[in-house]
Amino acid sequence: MKKKTLKLKKFNIHPIFMFIILSCITVLLSWILSVLQVQVTYNKINPNTLELEATLLTIENLFNYNGLKYIISSSVKNLAGFAPLGNLLISLLGISVAYATGLIDAFAKRVTLNIDNKKLTFLTILIATISSLVNDVGYVVLIPLSALIFSANKRNPMLGVIAAYCGVAFGYGATVFVGSMEVNLIPETTVAARLIDKTFHVSLTSNLIIIIAATIITSIVGTIIFEKIIVPKFSKVKEKEKEVDGNTKEINLEEIKESEQNKIETDFREKKGLKKALIVGIIFVICFIYMLIPSLPFSGLLLDMNEKTYLGQVFGENSYFQDGFTYMISLFFIATGLAYGISTKSIRDNKDLINRCCIYLSNLGMLIALMFFASQFIAIFRKTNIGPVIVGLSTKFLSQLSFSGIPLIITVVLLIVICNLFVTTPIGKWEIMAPVVVPLMMQSNISPQFAQFILRASDSMAKGITPLLAYFVIYIGYLNIYNTEKEVITVKKAIGYIMPYCLLMAVCWLLIIIGWYLLGAPIGIGVSPTL
């Protein structure tokens, strides 16, 4: 008699329930850590006096009356202030118009279909990497757009989602020009360096050479990883099989002629529409650039004129350019999409356009639900101060180190990577770590500018695999939108897709850091890794 083997049913936790579970764990953890009196004192630099000021960070317990009151009362505020929600909806309004009018399909047919898969992947990752020039715009624009482009190229749209997400998340520290990263990090680096040298100055171009090189290197390496490891996991998009009844049909010459004529007419309309869209696009870009030029009539609309430097006006904290960039991108898609649709007559009237846009936007229900629960989890975690306390404890550990050179660099990288799982913003970590890391490295003959790049590189290594990254929800949401399997894509599965990319890209970043340090090559204009 054969023995029956007990098989456990595979249990998958829906992403929504996972965010609920993570929220509950965070609340309980805040209670445990507060009972244990886990806290840390770190030194914060006063930018006016350049003196260190002791700052106490404690865990805020949310497992009590006031904590539960906060969770309930702030839920609407947490969702309303959740950056991915507003930015995504704004970008999708523009993308939906471009898609509904047929512009995206026509563009893919005329341009991207002539590009092989590897080149398309490379361009996607490269553009996604460069997009960090303007904060997080790549997540909200490139993820949905890449899915459509990959689909139009008869590739699995999920691959487009992953390629764009990986490019932004794991290439965040690299750009081809000075951007928001420099504007936000340099003040902290400068004041930290002046703890050792009162006259030290960090320029905006201090990382320019190495970030350009890193952009190219990580895009090439990322393409290889993506094509060799990630692509084989996904089945190719199957074309609809033509029904064949096995009988021989007579060739209808009239039907062939009509089909060819329709093809010629469609081809002509598409070319005409793309030309009109191109003209409108060029005019839009010229107007956009004009709004970034100060001291001209009706110009400077996107600049913060309260800032002293031009880069501060463009990329500063209150920059209209940064805050309005997603809106401008959306307007670009709307303008070019309408130009194409009107020219080709692909849309009959405004009602037809709105209906088509609504069809494209109709799949966002699950994503919006995900955003609600993700926003609550992230807000709850931030409220507890667990992340900053972990960063503070890591910094305290660093201050006690006595070794230098490559061992010091590797230790700093590892600690930043760990901290990055809990505090995903570079400036949030650097405010706490810079007063210790920068002087420590200066005492080891490592320049503050190179210390800043180490932060940028380390920040790119593991950011994409933590649910605490606000834009992770867009990634997992779009995976499920384009998922054709019966089972939902869980948080675990979504992370599993990109884990090889994360690990190998981390090795790539580490090799860039160590290689540049050993070579002593310039990292910026007139700046080297060492003092």
pLDDT tens digits, one per residue of 216-257 = 999 999 999 999 999 998 866 544 433 434 444 454 555 555
Kindly report the three-state secondary structure assignment for every residue of 284-348: HHHHHHHCCCCCCCCCCCCCCCCCCCHHHHHHCCCCHHHHHHHHHHHHHHHHHHHHHHHHHCCCC
The answer to whether 451 and 190 are in contact (CB under 8 A) is no
pLDDT score, position 257: 52
The greatest distance separating any two alpha carbons of the chain, rounded to the nearest whole angstrom, comes to: 92
pLDDT score, position 244: 38
pLDDT score, position 484: 87
Helices and strands per DSSP (H, E), number in the chain: 21, 2
Percentage of residues of the chain with pLDDT beyond 70: 91
- Mean per-residue pLDDT for 150-179? 90
> Does a structural domain hold residue 65?
no
> Does a structural domain hold residue 280?
yes
HSE of 445, CA atoms in CB hemisphere, 13 A: 8
Q: How far is CA 185 from the centre of its chain?
A: 18
The SS3 of residue 51 is strand
**Cα distances (angstroms) measured from residue 264 to each of 76, 106, 204, 269:** 53, 14, 53, 9
| Cα Rg of the chain (Å, integer) | 26
Long-range contacts of 349-355 (CB under 8 A, 24+ apart): 353/97, 353/100, 353/101
pLDDT of 265 over the 70 cut: no
| Domain around 209 | 40-53+79-235+259-519
Beta bridge partners of 339: none
* Of residues 335, 389, 366, the one with CA closest to residue 479: 366
d(CA 335, CA 343): 12
> Does a structural domain hold residue 423?
yes
**Cα distances (angstroms) measured from residue 98 to each of 160, 218, 335:** 18, 30, 9
- Mean per-residue pLDDT for 56-65? 93
Between 321 and 190, where is the model more confident? 190
pLDDT score, position 394: 92
Helices (H), 460-530: 472-481, 491-519
Residue 401: how many CB atoms within 10 A of its CB? 14
d(CA 167, CA 184): 21
pLDDT digit string, tens, across residues 437-480: 999 999 999 999 999 999 999 999 998 999 999 999 999 999 99
**DSSP code for 44:** E
d(CA 504, CA 234): 19
For the record, the structure tokens of 65 come out as 């009356």
pLDDT score, position 239: 44
> Does a structural domain hold residue 2?
no
Alpha-carbon torsion (453, 457, 463, 464), positive or negative: positive
Between 132 and 481, where is the model more confident? 481
Count of the separate structural domains present in the chain: 1
Long-range contacts of 399-402 (CB under 8 A, 24+ apart): 399/436, 399/440, 401/440
pLDDT of 130 over the 80 cut: yes
> Does a structural domain hold residue 66?
no
> Does a structural domain hold residue 30?
no
* Residue 45: band (very low, low, confident or very high) from pLDDT cuts 50, 70, 90: confident
- Mean per-residue pLDDT for 25-34? 96
* Residue 159: band (very low, low, confident or very high) from pLDDT cuts 50, 70, 90: very high
pLDDT score, position 90: 92
> Does a structural domain hold residue 108?
yes
> Does a structural domain hold residue 145?
yes
pLDDT of 74 over the 90 cut: yes
